[in-house]
Chains A and B, each alone.
Chain A
Amino acid sequence: MLRFLLQRLALIALMLLVLSGLVFFLVQLLPGDLATNILGSQATPEQYAAMRAKLGLDQPVWVRYFTWLGDFLRGEWGHSVSADQPVRDLVLTRFGNTLRLAGVALAILIPSAIVAGVLAGLNEGKWIDKIISVGGATLTVIPEFVSGIILMIVFAVWLRWFPISATAPSDADFWTTVRHLILPSLPVVFVSFGYIAKMARSGTIEVLEAPYIRTATFKGLTRRQIVLRHVLRNALPPTISLSLLQASFIMGGLVVVEQLFTYPGLGKLLLDASTSHDVPTLEAAVLLAGIIVMVMTLLADLTLALLDPRVRVGG
């Protein structure tokens, strides 16, 4: 297990290195540069040249890359020129914000999708199954910005239950903060809901057909005992593990949602940093996002392993 873990971590490190190089060189292909971005389109060529020299943009790409890499590895993540903040503070703050949003999204998504999926699985073929299955599949195909705007119109403009801006005042208590995050998290929840519910449903159906469910029935257990102790126990681990994979998928949706709901998260930062050629910020944000995705994948594998005694107990 330890060896497996070390191998995976080494692989993640290698992938992050490749990712950092790729991002650095790809950014060079985007039109414009940081100096243009700072000075605006109507500055004089002298101003550009001075700014470029100040930012070190007059060095060759690879020199800049290795300078950046060396600094980054030493923990000096640089200064975000576009946001005028240390990159580390900026990215970590944004990362914290995204974690909060993703946390709310997952806290809504995983229990609701799993409950719905299990319900559908237990009632296979009945109307409740059909509603959940068809509903889930429909929600999945709605793009985040469409569902986001619809949710805004319905819950923020008409009903006024939730605010439109995802950012709560700084003195807000926990529940106020969560209330601000519910609306933005829903579009992301929608996209993954159907998928996870489908996993939970098919997992439940598969387990229901397993011989050990019959065994449990023959023992004289109540329906409730059968579902809780035998069905869920075996249907959920793979579903939960797949849900964690979805967690990394959610990252993509957050870029859209953070923009729409004006939420200063990592996804929004990625977008801003790439349009403004703020390479140190972009790199740090991409690497952090990359780490999330890879760690989530690893966690998914580990959860599956830990929840399954066949893998856990030297099988």
Chain B
Amino acid sequence: MSDKIDGRHTANQLTIADKLKNGMESGHMSRREVLRRGSVLGLSMAFMGSLFGFDRAAFAQEAPKEGGVLKLGISRPRGVVDPLTSRSRSEGFILKPVLPPLGRLQADGTLAPGLAESWAPNEDATVWTFTFRPTKWISGEAFTAHDIAAALDILLDPASPSPTVSGYRGILSHGKYEVPDDSTLVFHLDRPYVDFPYIVSYGATAWFPKGYVQGDFAAGKVGGVGPFLLKEYSADRGATYVKNPDYWDAANIHLDGLEILFFDDDQSMALALQGGQVDALPVLASSAVLAISANPDFEVLSARSSAYNSIRMQVDASPFSDKRVRQALAYSIDRQAIVNTIYSGAADVGNDHVFAPAFQQSAAVVAAIPQRERDIEKAKALLAEAGYANGVQVTLTSQQYADIPQYLQMVQSQAKEAGFEITLDLKSQAEYYGADDNQPWLSVPFGATDWGERATPGAMITPAYLTGAPFNESKYANPDFDAAAKAFDAETDPVKRDQLAIDAAKIMHEDTPTIIGYFAQTRRPVSKKVKAFPAGPASQLDLTGTWLDQ
């Protein structure tokens, strides 16, 4: 494993780098694509810069000013924030300045070194080796790979209520990791998984020291490994941080401190930004963004996201058991009109597969599969072929949540022209998800569900579209798709991997178990005095390089 060439990268990584170089030179991949792919496989920026001939520092335009306290507004997390129970984005925002992820995911999809200095897969991506840099906890104890292993022992316990466990399911099992020395952690995956570094860097998971006791975070007893130190935390008001002078990348942390304020209401959060009480909002609902985008003192940063609202049709129930009916519905909607109306353009049109623009393979997939445009004639023809020449009546069950009602009403009226008489049944969110034996979101034949952002296409596909998956709401079952999706996760060769993505996307697009009309972008309203604020991804907030112009 430690057969490192040039002092850092493995031979395997160099092979990959070579393939990337080929991909770029053949025009198959853009420079950005290459960076994204290289970073997740553990290629350092410096190495890639020299290999591909570009300098990341060239992107910087202004010399940053040092100092100042950045104030952020986020929606209030429920209860007391703690890494043992953390599950929401807000909790992640509170925890990660102190307890950073292994790799820092950037808005452009690249993965920068975090707590882990570097990482590398074996040839078939079943074994991953992570290397950590020496640092210390607040307690004075050294941070070691044992801390991450101990945290995983807790988080991956099958009885653990932590959401972490579901994100690792089928990829990494409890106890399948070893610590050869204090600075190295080796993961033995259940199956080949090329995107593994995303998994350990994503979500609300924050790492914590061995012997951690619930409440230590709130009491300010942990930290020291992140860019900031927790100064004060109040479950009612928010948290304040000061810069950690001992942070490994302290030179690129320009802020003196950070203050995070809680809000219960999007409207007041937006007003607080405009009122100058906070400088930036990492997450804001699109409806509240509108007023700010008109204000010249603010900028609304956008980042591509993999989150989408599914309109899924159970493939075993009439009339949607006929593929042509599903396709007919897909052809009857005007995606661009929906994007323009509901998101003022700040969304990417979807093509009924999960390879979102946020993912590396998006460009290849988009090039390979023609975009479904609205085609009423075709929709009608498909319906007629399926035996519904006179149209079809269906009930679409969903929830009163965020933009879903607005989206479904547009679909309802657009699909009507093709012959779909859709009745909307909008329940409360709690009612739609239900519990135990009564979970309408999984059981209704025709429903619409909000799927959150995921790190990788695999993380999207595995729980929802593989045959028999626990949250397979469309009851989709296609062995070819399953095979393509699994092969995709296992393929290290970037070019072959793109082809597998195209294969899987094509099957899903053709079968249309779900209509993915668009992927709404992450919107981050920021005061113009905040410079180099990360535009995304939505669940991450890496303040390296961010500075205040004041």
Contacts and interface: CB of A to CB of B under 8 A. Distances in A.
A93 B80 CA distance: 14
Interface in A13-43: 30-33, 35-43
A41 B262 contact: no
A246 interface: no
A51 interface: yes
Interface stretch (B128-136, B232-240, B484-492, B530-538): B232-240
A264 B312 CA distance: 39
A36 B264 contact: no
A170 interface: yes
B275 A152 contact: yes
A93 B76 CA distance: 17
Interface stretch (B38-46, B303-311, B426-434): B426-434
Contact of A167 (B232, B236, B275, B470): B236
Given A83-B79, A83-B235, A164-B272, A156 B277 contact: yes
Contact of B275 (A33, A164, A275): A164
Contact of A165 (B80, B87, B277, B431): B277
Interface residues of A, number: 51
B78 A272 contact: yes
A44 B470 contact: yes
B267 interface: yes
Contact of B263 (A51, A83, A165): A165
Contacts of A112: none
The 5 closest A-B pairs by CB, nearest first: A32-B430, A31-B431, A41-B433, A264-B236, A156-B275
Given A32-B430, A38-B161, A157-B271, A82 B78 contact: yes
Contacts of B163: 40, 43
A289 B32 CA distance: 57
Contacts of A144: none
B425 interface: no
Nearest to A180: B237
B235 to A, nearest CB: 7
User: Which interface residue of B235, B433, B435 has the most chain A CB atoms within 10 A?
Assistant: B435
A309 B234 CA distance: 49
A186 B87 CA distance: 36
Contact of A32 (B234, B271, B274, B434): B434
Contacts of B265: 259-260, 262
User: Which interface residue of A41, A268, A275 has the most chain B CB atoms within 10 A?
Assistant: A41
12 contacts: A30-B430, A31-B434, A32-B430, A32-B433, A48-B436, A97-B236, A156-B272, A157-B271, A165-B261, A165-B268, A262-B268, A275-B430
Contacts of A167: 234, 236-238, 262
B236 A42 contact: no
B166 interface: yes
Contact of A83 (B78, B430, B471): B78
A213 interface: no
Contact of B271 (A43, A83, A153, A276): A153
Given A170-B237, A262-B76, A149 B267 contact: yes
A56 to B, nearest CB: 15
Interface string B155-173: 0000101010010000000
Interface in A185-220: none
A156 B269 CA distance: 12
B332 to A, nearest CB: 28
A95 interface: no
Interface string B263-300: 11101110110111100000000000000000000000
B271 A156 contact: yes
A169 interface: yes
B166 A43 contact: yes
Contacts of B272: 156, 163-165
Contacts of B434: 31-32, 36
A45 interface: yes
Nearest to A30: B430
B78 A276 contact: yes
B88 to A, nearest CB: 9
A47 interface: yes
B159 A50 contact: yes
A152 B80 CA distance: 28
Contacts of B276: 160
B435 A261 contact: no
A43 B272 CA distance: 35
B187 to A, nearest CB: 23
B391 interface: no
A276 B429 CA distance: 12
B214 to A, nearest CB: 8
Contacts of A44: 166, 470
B82 interface: yes
Contact of B431 (A32, A51, A80): A32
A157 B427 contact: no
Interface string B376-410: 00000000000000000000000000000000000
Given A41-B441, A160-B276, A85 B237 contact: no
Contact of B268 (A42, A97, A160, A260): A260
Nearest to B427: A31
B79 A85 contact: yes
A84 interface: yes
User: Which interface residue of A51, A93, A156 has the most chain B CB atoms within 10 A?
Assistant: A156
Nearest to B437: A45
A25 B494 CA distance: 58
A45 B434 CA distance: 11
A33 B274 contact: no
Contacts of A156: 271-272, 275, 277
Interface in B58-117: 76, 78-80, 82, 85, 87
A146 to B, nearest CB: 11
B232 A85 contact: no
A25 to B, nearest CB: 18
B85 A84 contact: yes
A211 B246 CA distance: 82
B78 A268 contact: no
B245 interface: no
A258 interface: yes
B463 interface: yes
A276 to B, nearest CB: 7
A152 B271 contact: yes
Interface in A220-260: 258-260
Nearest to A256: B265
Contacts of B79: 80, 82-85
Contact of B80 (A38, A41, A85): A85
B430 A262 contact: no
B351 to A, nearest CB: 24
A35 B166 CA distance: 16
Nearest to A45: B436
Nearest to A170: B234
Contacts of A41: 433, 441
B263 A84 contact: no
A256 to B, nearest CB: 10
